[in-house]
Amino acid sequence: MLPKRPRLSDRVIARRHLADTDRVVLHDQASCQVMKILPVQWQVLALADGTRDIEGVALAARARGIATEPTDLAGFLEHLDEKGLLAEGPLDAPDDAGEPDEDLLDVPVEAIAGWTLICSGRGVCCEAFSTVLFTPREARRALVVLDDELHDFYPSRGVPRDEGPVAPIMVHGRCGYLNDQRRCMLHARAGTTAKPSVCRSFPMQSVYDGATVRAAFTFECACVVDGIGVTHGDPPFPRGARTLREVSRLVPVARLPERVTLDGSTTAPRAGVRRFYRALAAATPPRDVAAGLWAIGGALASSGVDAAETAYATEPELDTARVREAFSELRAAVSAWRAPLATFRSEADFTRAGLDWIVAAADRIAQSELPPAPPLGSRAAEVEAFYVTATSWGYADALGRVPLARAFRIRALRLWLARAIAAAPPDDPRAAEPLTVVEVLFRAVGLDSYAAGPSDGSP
Ligand code: SF4
Protein backbone atom coordinates (compact mmCIF):
# COMPACT_ATOMS: atom_id res chain seq x y z
CA MET A 1 0.00 0.00 0.00
CA LEU A 2 1.22 3.48 -0.86
CA PRO A 3 2.82 5.17 2.18
CA LYS A 4 0.61 7.88 3.65
CA ARG A 5 3.46 10.39 3.60
CA PRO A 6 5.80 8.98 0.97
CA ARG A 7 9.39 9.82 0.16
CA LEU A 8 12.07 8.31 -2.03
CA SER A 9 13.94 5.57 -0.19
CA ASP A 10 17.51 6.35 0.85
CA ARG A 11 18.60 3.29 -1.14
CA VAL A 12 17.70 5.18 -4.32
CA ILE A 13 20.09 7.50 -6.11
CA ALA A 14 18.54 10.06 -8.45
CA ARG A 15 20.80 11.49 -11.16
CA ARG A 16 19.97 13.61 -14.17
CA HIS A 17 21.55 12.20 -17.34
CA LEU A 18 21.77 14.42 -20.40
CA ALA A 19 22.61 12.69 -23.68
CA ASP A 20 20.24 12.05 -26.59
CA THR A 21 17.46 12.43 -24.03
CA ASP A 22 17.12 14.38 -20.80
CA ARG A 23 16.03 12.04 -18.01
CA VAL A 24 16.35 11.65 -14.28
CA VAL A 25 17.42 8.10 -13.50
CA LEU A 26 16.29 6.53 -10.21
CA HIS A 27 18.72 3.78 -9.39
CA ASP A 28 18.32 1.35 -6.51
CA GLN A 29 21.82 -0.07 -6.18
CA ALA A 30 20.72 -2.85 -3.83
CA SER A 31 18.13 -4.35 -6.21
CA CYS A 32 19.61 -3.08 -9.53
CA GLN A 33 16.17 -1.52 -10.23
CA VAL A 34 16.31 1.43 -12.61
CA MET A 35 13.53 3.82 -13.51
CA LYS A 36 13.73 6.86 -15.77
CA ILE A 37 11.52 9.90 -15.24
CA LEU A 38 11.29 13.39 -16.71
CA PRO A 39 13.02 16.28 -14.91
CA VAL A 40 9.60 17.83 -14.20
CA GLN A 41 8.47 14.56 -12.57
CA TRP A 42 11.56 14.73 -10.39
CA GLN A 43 10.62 18.25 -9.31
CA VAL A 44 7.34 16.83 -8.00
CA LEU A 45 8.92 13.71 -6.51
CA ALA A 46 11.41 15.85 -4.60
CA LEU A 47 8.45 17.46 -2.83
CA ALA A 48 7.36 14.05 -1.51
CA ASP A 49 9.80 14.27 1.37
CA GLY A 50 7.87 12.20 3.93
CA THR A 51 6.24 15.25 5.53
CA ARG A 52 3.36 15.64 3.01
CA ASP A 53 0.48 13.40 2.02
CA ILE A 54 -0.51 13.14 -1.66
CA GLU A 55 -2.75 16.21 -1.48
CA GLY A 56 0.07 18.14 0.16
CA VAL A 57 2.58 17.16 -2.53
CA ALA A 58 0.14 18.17 -5.28
CA LEU A 59 -0.49 21.52 -3.56
CA ALA A 60 3.24 22.16 -3.17
CA ALA A 61 3.78 21.30 -6.86
CA ARG A 62 1.01 23.66 -7.94
CA ALA A 63 2.53 26.42 -5.80
CA ARG A 64 5.67 25.96 -7.94
CA GLY A 65 3.71 26.20 -11.17
CA ILE A 66 3.54 22.46 -11.90
CA ALA A 67 -0.06 21.43 -12.60
CA THR A 68 -0.60 18.09 -10.81
CA GLU A 69 -3.80 16.24 -10.02
CA PRO A 70 -3.70 14.14 -6.82
CA THR A 71 -5.07 11.08 -8.67
CA ASP A 72 -2.32 11.28 -11.33
CA LEU A 73 0.28 11.84 -8.66
CA ALA A 74 -0.98 8.85 -6.67
CA GLY A 75 -0.67 6.68 -9.80
CA PHE A 76 2.91 7.85 -10.35
CA LEU A 77 3.88 7.22 -6.72
CA GLU A 78 2.16 3.81 -6.71
CA HIS A 79 4.29 2.84 -9.68
CA LEU A 80 7.43 3.81 -7.74
CA ASP A 81 6.16 1.98 -4.69
CA GLU A 82 5.59 -1.23 -6.66
CA LYS A 83 9.27 -1.10 -7.59
CA GLY A 84 10.20 -0.74 -3.93
CA LEU A 85 11.59 2.77 -4.35
CA LEU A 86 9.54 4.55 -1.67
CA ALA A 87 9.71 4.82 2.12
CA GLU A 88 7.34 6.26 4.73
CA GLY A 89 7.73 9.38 6.84
CA PRO A 90 10.31 12.14 7.21
CA LEU A 91 14.05 11.70 7.40
CA ASP A 92 15.74 11.44 10.77
CA ALA A 93 17.39 14.63 11.96
CA PRO A 94 21.10 14.59 11.09
CA ASP A 95 23.56 13.87 13.88
CA ASP A 96 25.50 16.81 15.17
CA ALA A 97 28.85 15.30 14.28
CA GLY A 98 30.99 18.17 15.58
CA GLU A 99 34.44 18.96 14.19
CA PRO A 100 35.66 15.90 12.23
CA ASP A 101 38.93 14.35 13.39
CA GLU A 102 39.24 16.76 16.32
CA ASP A 103 40.59 13.94 18.50
CA LEU A 104 43.25 12.99 15.94
CA LEU A 105 44.96 16.35 15.45
CA ASP A 106 48.17 15.37 17.25
CA VAL A 107 48.41 11.86 15.80
CA PRO A 108 51.54 11.33 13.63
CA VAL A 109 50.95 11.01 9.88
CA GLU A 110 52.77 8.69 7.47
CA ALA A 111 52.84 8.23 3.70
CA ILE A 112 54.62 5.76 1.41
CA ALA A 113 58.00 7.18 0.38
CA GLY A 114 58.50 7.68 -3.36
CA TRP A 115 54.89 7.69 -4.44
CA THR A 116 53.40 10.95 -5.61
CA LEU A 117 50.64 12.11 -7.91
CA ILE A 118 50.71 14.17 -11.07
CA CYS A 119 47.44 14.32 -13.01
CA SER A 120 48.48 13.00 -16.42
CA GLY A 121 44.96 13.24 -17.85
CA ARG A 122 45.07 9.50 -18.56
CA GLY A 123 42.62 8.72 -15.82
CA VAL A 124 38.86 8.32 -15.99
CA CYS A 125 37.98 9.71 -12.58
CA CYS A 126 35.59 12.35 -14.02
CA GLU A 127 33.64 9.76 -16.00
CA ALA A 128 33.68 6.69 -13.77
CA PHE A 129 31.48 7.85 -10.92
CA SER A 130 27.82 8.75 -11.29
CA THR A 131 28.14 10.64 -8.04
CA VAL A 132 30.49 13.59 -7.60
CA LEU A 133 29.45 15.16 -4.33
CA PHE A 134 29.47 18.91 -3.80
CA THR A 135 28.72 20.57 -0.50
CA PRO A 136 25.90 23.15 -0.85
CA ARG A 137 28.54 25.87 -0.61
CA GLU A 138 30.61 24.30 -3.40
CA ALA A 139 27.47 23.99 -5.54
CA ARG A 140 26.65 27.66 -5.01
CA ARG A 141 30.21 28.57 -5.98
CA ALA A 142 29.90 26.51 -9.18
CA LEU A 143 26.81 28.54 -10.15
CA VAL A 144 28.83 31.73 -9.85
CA VAL A 145 32.03 30.46 -11.49
CA LEU A 146 30.21 29.04 -14.52
CA ASP A 147 27.33 31.50 -14.76
CA ASP A 148 26.87 30.69 -18.45
CA GLU A 149 26.45 26.91 -18.01
CA LEU A 150 23.49 24.69 -17.16
CA HIS A 151 23.47 23.61 -13.50
CA ASP A 152 21.20 21.24 -11.66
CA PHE A 153 21.99 19.32 -8.49
CA TYR A 154 20.55 16.15 -6.99
CA PRO A 155 20.68 14.78 -3.44
CA SER A 156 23.42 12.25 -2.68
CA ARG A 157 20.67 9.69 -2.06
CA GLY A 158 16.92 9.71 -1.48
CA VAL A 159 15.18 13.08 -1.26
CA PRO A 160 16.84 16.49 -0.92
CA ARG A 161 18.12 17.36 2.55
CA ASP A 162 18.69 20.83 3.94
CA GLU A 163 22.39 21.61 3.55
CA GLY A 164 23.06 18.02 2.45
CA PRO A 165 25.64 17.12 -0.23
CA VAL A 166 24.50 17.22 -3.85
CA ALA A 167 25.61 15.77 -7.18
CA PRO A 168 25.64 17.57 -10.55
CA ILE A 169 24.14 16.52 -13.90
CA MET A 170 25.84 13.78 -15.90
CA VAL A 171 26.39 14.59 -19.57
CA HIS A 172 27.03 11.60 -21.84
CA GLY A 173 27.76 9.56 -18.73
CA ARG A 174 30.43 11.94 -17.42
CA CYS A 175 30.44 14.69 -14.85
CA GLY A 176 28.67 17.63 -16.49
CA TYR A 177 31.62 19.90 -15.69
CA LEU A 178 34.06 17.88 -17.82
CA ASN A 179 34.58 19.59 -21.18
CA ASP A 180 35.30 18.01 -24.56
CA GLN A 181 39.03 18.34 -23.97
CA ARG A 182 38.57 16.19 -20.83
CA ARG A 183 39.36 19.12 -18.55
CA CYS A 184 37.35 20.35 -15.59
CA MET A 185 35.54 23.56 -16.54
CA LEU A 186 35.46 24.72 -12.91
CA HIS A 187 39.22 24.27 -12.61
CA ALA A 188 39.83 25.92 -15.99
CA ARG A 189 37.73 28.96 -15.11
CA ALA A 190 38.69 29.58 -11.48
CA GLY A 191 41.50 27.25 -10.44
CA THR A 192 41.62 24.11 -8.33
CA THR A 193 39.74 25.63 -5.38
CA ALA A 194 36.62 25.96 -7.55
CA LYS A 195 36.35 22.17 -7.65
CA PRO A 196 34.58 20.26 -4.90
CA SER A 197 36.76 18.90 -2.14
CA VAL A 198 36.17 15.29 -3.20
CA CYS A 199 37.76 16.07 -6.56
CA ARG A 200 40.64 18.02 -5.05
CA SER A 201 41.41 15.20 -2.66
CA PHE A 202 40.87 12.31 -5.11
CA PRO A 203 42.44 9.75 -5.08
CA MET A 204 43.90 10.43 -1.64
CA GLN A 205 42.63 8.58 1.37
CA SER A 206 43.80 8.50 4.97
CA VAL A 207 43.11 6.04 7.75
CA TYR A 208 43.69 6.17 11.50
CA ASP A 209 44.76 2.69 12.59
CA GLY A 210 44.94 3.31 16.34
CA ALA A 211 48.61 4.37 16.18
CA THR A 212 49.15 6.71 13.23
CA VAL A 213 47.24 8.21 10.33
CA ARG A 214 48.38 6.52 7.13
CA ALA A 215 47.78 8.24 3.79
CA ALA A 216 47.77 6.61 0.39
CA PHE A 217 46.16 7.00 -3.02
CA THR A 218 43.33 4.66 -3.96
CA PHE A 219 44.31 2.50 -6.93
CA GLU A 220 41.49 3.90 -9.04
CA CYS A 221 43.22 6.09 -11.58
CA ALA A 222 45.98 5.57 -14.15
CA CYS A 223 47.79 8.60 -12.67
CA VAL A 224 48.32 6.59 -9.48
CA VAL A 225 50.25 3.97 -11.42
CA ASP A 226 52.20 6.69 -13.23
CA GLY A 227 53.25 8.05 -9.83
CA ILE A 228 54.95 4.85 -8.58
CA GLY A 229 58.59 5.69 -7.95
CA VAL A 230 58.02 9.36 -8.83
CA THR A 231 59.10 11.86 -6.17
CA HIS A 232 58.38 15.25 -7.77
CA GLY A 233 54.56 15.04 -7.80
CA ASP A 234 52.12 15.81 -4.99
CA PRO A 235 52.44 13.50 -1.98
CA PRO A 236 49.26 12.53 -0.12
CA PHE A 237 50.37 14.68 2.83
CA PRO A 238 52.37 17.91 2.42
CA ARG A 239 56.10 17.25 2.71
CA GLY A 240 57.35 17.79 6.25
CA ALA A 241 53.92 17.40 7.88
CA ARG A 242 54.28 15.45 11.14
CA THR A 243 50.78 15.43 12.58
CA LEU A 244 47.26 15.79 11.30
CA ARG A 245 47.19 19.31 12.73
CA GLU A 246 49.68 20.36 10.02
CA VAL A 247 47.60 18.86 7.21
CA SER A 248 44.64 20.56 5.61
CA ARG A 249 41.96 17.89 5.27
CA LEU A 250 39.41 17.95 2.52
CA VAL A 251 37.69 14.75 3.58
CA PRO A 252 37.48 13.10 7.02
CA VAL A 253 40.03 10.50 8.09
CA ALA A 254 38.63 6.95 8.04
CA ARG A 255 39.11 4.81 11.15
CA LEU A 256 40.11 1.19 11.45
CA PRO A 257 37.36 -0.38 13.60
CA GLU A 258 38.09 -1.79 17.07
CA ARG A 259 37.25 -5.26 15.70
CA VAL A 260 37.33 -6.42 12.09
CA THR A 261 35.27 -9.36 10.80
CA LEU A 262 37.50 -12.06 9.31
CA ASP A 263 34.95 -14.68 8.33
CA GLY A 264 31.43 -15.50 9.53
CA SER A 265 31.34 -14.50 13.19
CA THR A 266 35.15 -14.58 13.65
CA THR A 267 36.69 -11.19 14.33
CA ALA A 268 40.16 -9.85 15.11
CA PRO A 269 41.13 -6.89 17.31
CA ARG A 270 42.39 -3.70 15.75
CA ALA A 271 45.95 -4.21 16.99
CA GLY A 272 46.18 -7.63 15.30
CA VAL A 273 44.73 -6.32 12.04
CA ARG A 274 47.13 -3.36 12.16
CA ARG A 275 50.13 -5.67 12.63
CA PHE A 276 48.97 -7.88 9.75
CA TYR A 277 48.39 -5.00 7.32
CA ARG A 278 51.66 -3.31 8.21
CA ALA A 279 53.56 -6.55 7.66
CA LEU A 280 51.81 -7.06 4.33
CA ALA A 281 52.61 -3.52 3.17
CA ALA A 282 56.31 -4.23 3.81
CA ALA A 283 56.37 -7.85 2.59
CA THR A 284 58.49 -9.15 -0.27
CA PRO A 285 56.01 -10.12 -2.99
CA PRO A 286 55.66 -13.79 -3.93
CA ARG A 287 56.18 -14.97 -7.51
CA ASP A 288 52.42 -14.80 -8.12
CA VAL A 289 50.83 -11.93 -6.23
CA ALA A 290 47.27 -12.97 -7.11
CA ALA A 291 47.81 -16.48 -5.78
CA GLY A 292 49.38 -14.95 -2.66
CA LEU A 293 46.29 -12.79 -2.02
CA TRP A 294 44.03 -15.81 -2.51
CA ALA A 295 46.14 -17.72 0.01
CA ILE A 296 45.75 -14.89 2.52
CA GLY A 297 41.96 -15.20 2.17
CA GLY A 298 42.15 -18.89 3.00
CA ALA A 299 44.45 -18.34 5.96
CA LEU A 300 42.26 -15.57 7.38
CA ALA A 301 39.22 -17.87 7.21
CA SER A 302 40.90 -20.89 8.76
CA SER A 303 43.53 -19.53 11.12
CA GLY A 304 43.25 -15.76 11.64
CA VAL A 305 45.54 -12.81 11.08
CA ASP A 306 48.75 -14.32 12.48
CA ALA A 307 48.70 -17.17 9.95
CA ALA A 308 47.75 -14.77 7.17
CA GLU A 309 51.00 -12.84 7.72
CA THR A 310 52.98 -15.81 6.38
CA ALA A 311 50.47 -17.11 3.81
CA TYR A 312 51.30 -14.37 1.27
CA ALA A 313 54.89 -15.45 0.80
CA THR A 314 54.37 -19.22 1.09
CA GLU A 315 51.71 -19.28 -1.65
CA PRO A 316 50.17 -22.73 -1.06
CA GLU A 317 48.81 -24.71 -4.00
CA LEU A 318 45.73 -23.11 -5.55
CA ASP A 319 42.34 -24.76 -5.41
CA THR A 320 41.59 -23.76 -9.00
CA ALA A 321 38.08 -25.25 -8.91
CA ARG A 322 37.23 -22.88 -6.05
CA VAL A 323 38.77 -19.95 -7.92
CA ARG A 324 36.70 -20.77 -11.02
CA GLU A 325 33.56 -20.99 -8.93
CA ALA A 326 34.32 -17.55 -7.53
CA PHE A 327 34.88 -16.18 -11.04
CA SER A 328 31.55 -17.51 -12.20
CA GLU A 329 29.83 -15.81 -9.26
CA LEU A 330 31.61 -12.55 -10.03
CA ARG A 331 30.72 -12.75 -13.71
CA ALA A 332 27.04 -13.24 -12.87
CA ALA A 333 27.09 -10.21 -10.56
CA VAL A 334 28.78 -8.00 -13.17
CA SER A 335 26.33 -9.16 -15.84
CA ALA A 336 23.43 -8.27 -13.58
CA TRP A 337 24.72 -4.71 -13.52
CA ARG A 338 25.07 -4.42 -17.29
CA ALA A 339 21.35 -4.57 -18.11
CA PRO A 340 20.18 -1.71 -15.86
CA LEU A 341 23.13 0.45 -16.91
CA ALA A 342 22.28 -0.09 -20.57
CA THR A 343 18.88 1.53 -20.02
CA PHE A 344 20.40 4.95 -19.40
CA ARG A 345 24.06 4.85 -20.41
CA SER A 346 25.36 4.77 -23.96
CA GLU A 347 27.67 2.01 -25.19
CA ALA A 348 30.62 4.38 -25.17
CA ASP A 349 30.20 5.25 -21.48
CA PHE A 350 33.22 4.17 -19.50
CA THR A 351 31.17 2.22 -16.98
CA ARG A 352 29.43 0.14 -19.65
CA ALA A 353 32.61 -0.38 -21.64
CA GLY A 354 34.52 -1.30 -18.48
CA LEU A 355 31.96 -3.88 -17.37
CA ASP A 356 32.07 -5.38 -20.87
CA TRP A 357 35.87 -5.69 -20.58
CA ILE A 358 35.50 -7.40 -17.21
CA VAL A 359 32.89 -9.87 -18.46
CA ALA A 360 34.96 -10.68 -21.57
CA ALA A 361 38.03 -11.21 -19.37
CA ALA A 362 36.06 -13.49 -17.02
CA ASP A 363 34.86 -15.49 -20.03
CA ARG A 364 38.40 -15.91 -21.35
CA ILE A 365 39.52 -17.11 -17.93
CA ALA A 366 36.61 -19.58 -17.80
CA GLN A 367 37.67 -21.03 -21.14
CA SER A 368 41.38 -21.38 -20.38
CA GLU A 369 43.90 -21.19 -17.54
CA LEU A 370 44.18 -18.51 -14.90
CA PRO A 371 46.33 -15.71 -16.35
CA PRO A 372 49.96 -16.24 -15.29
CA ALA A 373 51.94 -13.76 -13.21
CA PRO A 374 53.76 -11.12 -15.27
CA PRO A 375 57.49 -11.77 -15.88
CA LEU A 376 59.76 -11.08 -12.93
CA GLY A 377 61.26 -7.62 -13.12
CA SER A 378 58.60 -6.33 -15.57
CA ARG A 379 56.71 -3.10 -15.00
CA ALA A 380 53.50 -5.13 -14.69
CA ALA A 381 55.04 -7.22 -11.89
CA GLU A 382 56.17 -4.03 -10.15
CA VAL A 383 52.65 -2.56 -10.38
CA GLU A 384 51.04 -5.71 -8.94
CA ALA A 385 53.46 -5.81 -6.02
CA PHE A 386 52.95 -2.12 -5.35
CA TYR A 387 49.19 -2.58 -5.50
CA VAL A 388 49.43 -4.84 -2.45
CA THR A 389 51.69 -2.35 -0.68
CA ALA A 390 49.34 0.54 -1.41
CA THR A 391 46.07 -1.20 -0.58
CA SER A 392 47.57 -2.59 2.64
CA TRP A 393 48.92 0.81 3.62
CA GLY A 394 45.41 2.24 3.18
CA TYR A 395 43.72 -0.66 5.05
CA ALA A 396 41.56 -1.41 2.02
CA ASP A 397 38.89 -3.97 2.91
CA ALA A 398 39.37 -3.61 6.67
CA LEU A 399 37.10 -0.55 6.72
CA GLY A 400 34.10 -1.95 4.87
CA ARG A 401 31.38 -4.50 5.29
CA VAL A 402 33.09 -7.39 3.49
CA PRO A 403 34.61 -10.06 5.76
CA LEU A 404 38.37 -9.86 5.34
CA ALA A 405 38.81 -13.47 4.18
CA ARG A 406 36.38 -12.92 1.30
CA ALA A 407 37.77 -9.47 0.55
CA PHE A 408 41.29 -10.83 -0.01
CA ARG A 409 40.03 -13.52 -2.36
CA ILE A 410 38.10 -10.91 -4.32
CA ARG A 411 41.28 -8.83 -4.53
CA ALA A 412 42.96 -11.85 -6.09
CA LEU A 413 40.12 -12.13 -8.62
CA ARG A 414 40.57 -8.48 -9.51
CA LEU A 415 44.25 -9.05 -10.24
CA TRP A 416 43.51 -12.06 -12.45
CA LEU A 417 40.86 -10.04 -14.28
CA ALA A 418 43.30 -7.17 -14.85
CA ARG A 419 45.87 -9.61 -16.22
CA ALA A 420 43.27 -11.09 -18.59
CA ILE A 421 42.29 -7.59 -19.82
CA ALA A 422 45.96 -6.71 -20.32
CA ALA A 423 46.52 -9.92 -22.31
CA ALA A 424 43.85 -8.89 -24.88
CA PRO A 425 43.79 -5.11 -24.48
CA PRO A 426 40.66 -3.27 -25.68
CA ASP A 427 41.29 -0.65 -28.36
CA ASP A 428 40.49 2.15 -25.96
CA PRO A 429 42.96 4.43 -24.14
CA ARG A 430 40.79 4.27 -21.02
CA ALA A 431 41.80 0.62 -20.61
CA ALA A 432 45.51 1.45 -20.47
CA GLU A 433 45.86 0.46 -16.81
CA PRO A 434 43.45 -2.47 -16.41
CA LEU A 435 43.98 -2.87 -12.67
CA THR A 436 42.78 0.68 -12.04
CA VAL A 437 39.80 0.07 -14.35
CA VAL A 438 38.75 -2.97 -12.34
CA GLU A 439 39.32 -1.14 -9.06
CA VAL A 440 37.36 1.97 -9.94
CA LEU A 441 34.43 -0.03 -11.32
CA PHE A 442 34.10 -2.03 -8.13
CA ARG A 443 33.44 1.18 -6.26
CA ALA A 444 31.78 3.33 -8.91
CA VAL A 445 29.21 0.86 -10.17
CA GLY A 446 28.32 -0.67 -6.85
CA LEU A 447 30.10 -3.99 -7.30
CA ASP A 448 31.00 -3.77 -3.64
CA SER A 449 27.39 -4.96 -3.10
CA TYR A 450 28.50 -8.16 -4.82
CA ALA A 451 31.66 -8.12 -2.76
CA ALA A 452 29.61 -8.02 0.42
CA GLY A 453 28.54 -11.46 -0.78
CA PRO A 454 26.48 -14.29 0.56
CA SER A 455 26.08 -14.77 4.28
CA ASP A 456 28.00 -18.07 4.22
CA GLY A 457 31.20 -16.15 3.48
CA SER A 458 32.01 -17.86 0.15
CA PRO A 459 34.00 -17.70 -2.10
S1 SF4 B 1 33.88 18.70 -10.88
FE2 SF4 B 1 35.60 18.79 -12.30
S3 SF4 B 1 37.21 17.49 -11.37
FE4 SF4 B 1 35.26 16.99 -10.35
S5 SF4 B 1 34.46 15.22 -11.52
FE6 SF4 B 1 33.56 17.09 -12.40
S7 SF4 B 1 34.95 17.61 -14.11
FE8 SF4 B 1 36.05 16.19 -12.79
Q: What is the pLDDT of residues 318-364, one digit of tens each?
A: 899 999 999 999 998 888 888 888 888 888 889 999 999 999 999 99
What atom of ligand 1 comes closest to residue 134's alpha carbon? 1
Predicted confidence (pLDDT) at residue 230 exceeds the cutoff of 80 = yes
Distance (Å) from CA 202 to ligand 1 centroid: 10
To test the pocket of ligand 1, the residue of 119, 125, 169, 175 to mutate (highest count of ligand atoms within 8 Å of its CB) is 175
Eight-state DSSP code of residue 371: P
* Highest CATH level, class, for 6-88: alpha beta
DSSP string, 244-294: GGGS--SSPPEE--SEEEEETTEEEEHHHHHHHHHHHHHSPP-S-HHHHHH
pLDDT at 406: 93
Mean pLDDT of 370-385: 96
Atom of ligand 1 nearest to the CA of 175: 6
C-alpha of residue 192 to centroid of ligand 1, in Å: 10
What's the CA gap between 23 and 20, in Å, rounded? 10
- CA-proximal residue: ligand 1, atom 2 (nearest): 184
Q: What pLDDT was estimated at residue 20? A: 86
| 8 Å CB contact between 220 and 440 | yes
Give residue 149 CA to ligand 1 midpoint distance, Å.
14
Q: Tell me how far the alpha carbon of residue 175 lies from the centroid of ligand 1, in angstroms.
A: 6
State residue 446's pLDDT score.
Answer: 67
- Ligand 1 atom with the smallest distance to the CA of 132 is 5
* pLDDT score of 289 more than 70: yes
Rounded CA-CA distance 459/414 in Å is 14
Q: Name which residue leads in pLDDT, 372 or 118.
A: 372
Give the pLDDT confidence score for residue 336 in this predicted structure: 82
The atom number, within ligand 1, closest to the CA of 178 reads 7
- The pLDDT score that the predictor gives to residue 387 is 97
Q: Which of 119, 127, 129, 132 to mutate to test the pocket of ligand 1 (most atoms within 8 A of CB)?
A: 132
| pLDDT of 187 above 70 | yes
**Of 122, 129, 166, 184, best ligand 1 pocket probe by most atoms within 8 Å of the beta carbon:** 184
pLDDT recorded at residue 262: 95
What pLDDT is stored for residue 456 in this prediction?
Answer: 39
Name which residue sits closest to atom 5 of ligand 1, judged by CA.
126
What does the alpha-carbon distance between residue 45 and residue 39 come to, in Å, rounded to a whole number? 10
Looking at residue 440, what is its pLDDT? 92
What mean pLDDT is reported for the chain? 90
Is pLDDT at 292 greater than 60 in this prediction? yes
Average pLDDT over residues 269-295: 96
Query: Which pLDDT belongs to residue 448?
Result: 63
pLDDT at 93 over 70: no
Distance 64 CA to ligand 1 centre (A): 31
Report residue 455's pLDDT band, with 50, 70 and 90 as the boundaries.
very low
- The DSSP code sequence of 335-355 is HHHHHHHHTTS-TTSHHHHHH
Residue 113's CB: how many other CB atoms inside 10 A? 8
Q: Mean of the pLDDT values across residues 52-71?
A: 94
Please say if the pLDDT value at position 458 is more than 50. Answer: no
Residue 431 has pLDDT above 90, yes or no: yes
Compute the distance from residue 117 Cα to the ligand 1 centre, in Å.
17
| Structure confidence at residue 130 as a pLDDT band (50, 70, 90) | confident
Atom of ligand 1 lying closest to residue 183 CA: 7
User: Which ligand 1 atom is the nearest neighbour of the CA of 177?
Assistant: 7
Q: Residue with the nearest Cα to atom 8 of ligand 1?
A: 126
205 C-alpha vs ligand 1 centroid, how far in Å?
18
**Cis before 375? omega within 30:** no
- Whats the size of the chain, residue-wise? 459
User: What percent of the chain is modeled with pLDDT above 90?
Assistant: 69
- Atom of ligand 1 lying closest to residue 186 CA: 2
Q: Which amino acid is present at 214? A: R
Mutation test of ligand 1: which of 177, 192, 202, 350 has the most ligand atoms closer than 8 Å to its C-beta? 177
Q: Which residue has the higher pLDDT, 456 or 233?
A: 233
CB-based pocket (< 6 A), ligand 1: 126, 132, 175, 177-178, 184, 186, 195-196, 199
pLDDT at 98: 60
Residue 22 has a pLDDT of 94
User: Which segments of the chain belong to CATH 3.90.930?
Assistant: 6-88
Radius of gyration of the chain (CA): 23
**Which has more pLDDT, 219 or 96?**
219
pLDDT at 459 over 60: no
Query: Is the pLDDT at 457 greater than 70, yes or no?
Result: no
The whole-number average pLDDT for the span 243-261 is 90
pLDDT at 94: 61
Could you say which DSSP state residue 101 is in? T
At residue 97, does pLDDT exceed 60?
no
